[in-house]
Structure 1
Amino acid sequence: MAPNDVVLVTGGTGFIGFATLKKALEDGYTVRAAVRSEAKADNLRTNPSIKKYSSKLSFVVVPDILAPHAFDEAVKGVKYILHLASPLTTGISLEDDLNAHVINPAVIGTVSICNSAAKEASVKRIVICSSIVAIVPVESLTGAQAPDHAFRPEERAHDVPGPYPAVIVAYVQSKIAALKEAEAWVEKEKPSFDVIHIHPSFVGGRNDLARNLEELKTGTNFYFLAPVLGQEAATAAGPRVASYVDVDDVAKAHVLSLNEKVAGNQSFMLSGEGEMSWDGAKAIAAKHFPDAVGKVFPNDGESAPFPFSVPADNSKTVETFGKLRTYEETVKAVVGQYIELSQQAA
């Protein structure tokens, strides 16, 4: 890494994207963040966890990532791209056109940034945030079929055709389709840069974007917190599987993938090691924060057990990026931040 190397980060206003943007700054990269508006740029500029890196952070406004040539200006002069922008399912229902709102945008955004990068000779590598759902068949993710082996990063899930029984299944297909199209694009175009895909499992951990308790509970962290907060997290409520990874490990994998000693054009799975159960968060909270039980949180919620875990072969991931955090470490981080924000609100 040279002092003037610039990395473009998309999706930096999201949970995983912001953790990755922060990690890139901490590791000494000069970061250009693609955001949808100046207001979103201002929100990042004022975040206390990255204010000290202001001299290494700049912004480019890309109002519509689905517009033709959306990233052409954003990629100019950059050496690396961390592509984490992807459609969310928040506010989308089964009455909406799921192809138009979820699946097609994921594919178009990914191919678009590849096309823009192909016009810019400075680009050497793109790291794309995919998902474990692009590798593990949907039957195993939903608990309908027990897996008979540990899934490897080279495997690919089969397409899930509509109509979709739930919005989250369309999200699964969006990740499958985006990965397939990106790999087909590389095979056809043979660009001068290479591409790495990162496949996280269910992501939780400290969220430095969260300014209050409601923001901390939004998204996947809800499922790590629900038993501690005395709430019920039903399987039908969202994309929950018996497999997790800490957001800081996801950020680390993306940023370390920029090291050119890591071979390009490959995939990495990120799924935490060891046994876990969603209800196990209560024992972890009681162990690390005994004084908060009954005062800050009731610690008596329920999460229905999943019929089986989703085993992943992390050997290449650990060899390349180091050991992954345990479920206990992830829960401790989230619950610890919940207590911090509770004290600030008091």
Structure 2
Amino acid sequence: MEKELVLVTGGSGYIASNIILQLLEQGYEVRTTIRSLAKVDRVKKIMKAGNAKNLADLTFIETDLTSEKNWDKAMEGVTYVIHPASSTPKLDFKDEKEMIHPAVNGVLHVMRTARDAKVKRVVITSAYGAVFAGHENRTTPYTEEDWSNLDAENIFPYQKAKTLSERAAWKFIEEEGHGLELATVNPVGVMGPILTSDYSHSNVQIQQLLDGEVKAVPNIDSGYVDVRDVASLHLLAMTSSKAAGERFLATTGETLSMLEVANILREAFPAYAAKLPTKKIPNAVLKAAAIADPKLRMLASLVGKYAGTSNQKANSLLGWNPRPAREAILATAQSMIDLGIVKK
């Protein structure tokens, strides 16, 4: 029997590489896009570190979300598309449109070429940022029914870009999808094992805590989820008949403060206890600092905000059961110690 071919965008990414590992393990043929063929060795190194099965079933194609090049070729013979790739955000942008336009245009480009190639379903990696932003005085867990309120103050370009690009994908399906199916996965903070020393920005928090770079933590709550469970949710969203036309929050449903994260690390890794913070930064201090330092503004906007989430939909509809947040956090930390990313 011929293997179904899945296109995964941005194969060198943290979530994408874990999706590829699980697809290969489940017997799919995988084609992945990379911005440059110079990254092939990097992806293969990640695959080998993850004990990849059937590496002969993985092929590469050079293309970019900002380019027309090779996309038609990338879609040839593809049954499913999983789209975790996103345009590289500019940290020094002068106008938020520099982040928003590439995100929206990139998603629409994938949707159009998938539709034209008669792909069955696209699964887009959206974000919790498209769900929670701009809601004041929240007291009940966020669900897939929620969308970030872009009319609110202090909506940051990243959250806008994720919200507008996901909305653009749903609008495309409604108006010009012509039978193409769509599902989206919206992860909270992604943790879990790192396979090589080239790690994701979502894991920087753990490295900074263990290396003693954080003397006190902001009063910020967050959900956390293991990258292996985020990957498995993408595969369920890809194949389940119940997933077509649905969004899924990838969350354990737990909410942890940054101090609780530090305490989890302290208990599990006593050798690092002296480096880990025990105090919180007063809210007013962080907000005052953010006035002078634009890099702190997004952080300051999250201070004291409710961050509860529910995974009831993914659990009841798809039977998805993620491992606890503590396990995901400790897996990140252990792999960072093992790889020498964190100083011993």
- The answer to whether structure 1 residue 262 and structure 2 residue 242 are counterparts is yes
Q: 2:222 aligns with which of 242, 254, 258?
A: 242
What residue number does 1:334 align with? 332
TM-score normalised by the chain length of structure 2: 0.83
Report the Cα offset of residue 107 of structure 1. Answer: 0.6
- The answer to whether structure 1 residue 293 and structure 2 residue 293 are counterparts is no
Report the Cα offset of residue 235 of structure 1. Answer: 5.1
C-alpha distance in structure 2 between counterparts of 1:114 and 1:152, whole Å: 25
- The answer to whether structure 1 residue 84 and structure 2 residue 84 are counterparts is yes
Report the Cα offset of residue 253 of structure 1. Answer: 0.6
What residue number does 2:286 align with? none
After TM superposition, list the pairs within 5 Å mapping 1:1-346 onto structure 2.
3-47=2-46, 48=48, 49-50=50-51, 52-62=53-63, 64-68=64-68, 71-89=71-89, 92-94=91-93, 96-100=94-98, 102-121=99-118, 123-136=119-132, 138-140=133-135, 145-159=136-150, 169-208=156-195, 210-211=196-197, 215-216=198-199, 219-232=201-214, 241-290=221-270, 292-293=271-272, 298-300=275-277, 304=281, 306-319=303-316, 320-342=318-340
Aligned length: 320
The answer to whether the 8 A contact 2:125-2:185 is kept is yes
* Unaligned residue ranges in structure 1 (runs of 5+): none
Could you say which structure has the higher helix fraction? 2
Relative to structure 2, which stretch is displaced further, 298-307 or 251-260?
Answer: 298-307
Report the 3-state secondary structure (helix = DSSP H, G, I; strand = E; otherwise coil) of the residue aligned with 1:58.
strand
C-alpha distance in structure 2 between counterparts of 1:184 and 1:16, whole Å: 25
C-alpha distance in structure 2 between counterparts of 1:246 and 1:198, whole Å: 14
The answer to whether the 8 A contact 2:224-2:328 is kept is no
Q: Aligned Cα RMSD in Å?
A: 2.8
The answer to whether the 8 A contact 2:224-2:254 is kept is no
Cα shift readout 1:175-211 (whole Å, capped 9, x = no counterpart): 1111111111001013222000111112222122x32
TM-score normalised by the chain length of structure 1: 0.83
C-alpha distance in structure 2 between counterparts of 1:173 and 1:4, whole Å: 38
Closer/same/farther in 2, CA of residues 281 and 157 from structure 1, 3 Å limit: closer
Aligned residues: percent identity?
Answer: 25
Report the 3-state secondary structure (helix = DSSP H, G, I; strand = E; otherwise coil) of the residue aligned with 1:77.
coil
The answer to whether the 8 A contact 2:336-2:342 is kept is no
Cα shift readout 1:272-304 (whole Å, capped 9, x = no counterpart): 2234222223332233333x336xx83346665
Cα shift readout 1:26-54 (whole Å, capped 9, x = no counterpart): 22221101111111122112332255432
The answer to whether the 8 A contact 2:3-2:27 is kept is no
Report the 3-state secondary structure (helix = DSSP H, G, I; strand = E; otherwise coil) of the residue aligned with 2:229.
helix
The answer to whether the 8 A contact 1:128-1:196 is kept is yes
Cα shift readout 1:97-145 (whole Å, capped 9, x = no counterpart): 3312x11111111111111011113x11110000111122x234xxxx3
C-alpha distance in structure 2 between counterparts of 1:344 and 1:39, whole Å: 27
Report the 3-state secondary structure (helix = DSSP H, G, I; strand = E; otherwise coil) of the residue aligned with 2:60.
strand
Closer/same/farther in 2, CA of residues 105 and 303 from structure 1, 3 Å limit: farther
* Unaligned residue ranges in structure 2 (runs of 5+): 284-302
